[in-house]
Structure 1
Amino acid sequence: MTQETAFTHLAPSTLVHWLDTACELTLVDIRDPLSFSQGHIPGSQHLDNTSVAGLLERTPRERPMVVVCYHGHSSQQAANWLAGQGFSDVYSLDGGFTDWAARHPDRVES
């Protein structure tokens, strides 16, 4: 029995396009606080167990949500969970922040 995922894989090039066209989206980074503070995609917010309740409260469920982790693995589980919380358009960034920073060092802020 195969498990259907509730999220979509997102290529870094697609995220670049969305950011360049000011697409309205929610960008969440689930890496540890120190890693996030040392560098993250501009416009992203840190998401962990203490901030998830606020995210669920204030984020429109229909707005696209992109989940970022280190290498694009744990973001898939988080994206699946967020989709289960009623978010209709959830993505996991392929390659994670590590790949993003290597491809787009000019698109990292700390």
Structure 2
Amino acid sequence: MIDQIRPTDLPQWMAANAAHGPAVVLDVREPHELQMASIKADGFELVCIPMGVIPPRLNELDPDRPVACLCHHGGRSQQVAHFLASRGFAHVANIAGGINAWSAEVDPSVPRY
């Protein structure tokens, strides 16, 4: 089962998984979406790989590290989280509500689109 975490819960999730290494937030949105709105890495590594190219770029991610997936509203990131889990990633979460919720709950300076 994939952990569903709200953006405000990310620090607690990272702390709970800290024994597995520094957390990665994997933003799976498209490049044009990243230009509209992006988050700042704060206590985690931010990696941006569009959903459609995750399979050929999977080797860029460490399956032992905690990975929290992010998209616009949480649908694509949920799919990617399941894909990662099926490929042996043991510590995976979906950031429910995506960057839209991030703007509402964590950083209102992040544009909503």
Fold equivalence (TM over 0.5): yes
1:1-30 superposed Cα distances (whole Å, 9 cap, x missing partner)? xxxx4x21112222145679xx51111111
TM-score, normalising length from structure 1? Answer: 0.74
1:39 maps to 2:34: no
Instruction: List alignment gaps of at least 5 residues for structure 2.
Output: none
CA positional deviation for 1:88: 0.6
Aligned equivalents of 2:34, 2:23: Cα separation in 1 = 19
* Number of aligned positions between the proteins: 101
- Kindly tell me: are residues 58 and 78 of structure 1, through their superposed partners in 2, closer, same or farther at Cα, counting changes over 3 Å? closer
The counterpart of 2:4, out of the listed 9, 13, 24, is: 9
Please provide the CA RMSD for this pair: 2.6
Partner-residue secondary structure (3-state), 1:105: coil
Amino acid at match of 1:38: M
Aligned equivalents of 1:58, 1:34: Cα separation in 2 = 21
TM-score, normalising length from structure 2? Answer: 0.73
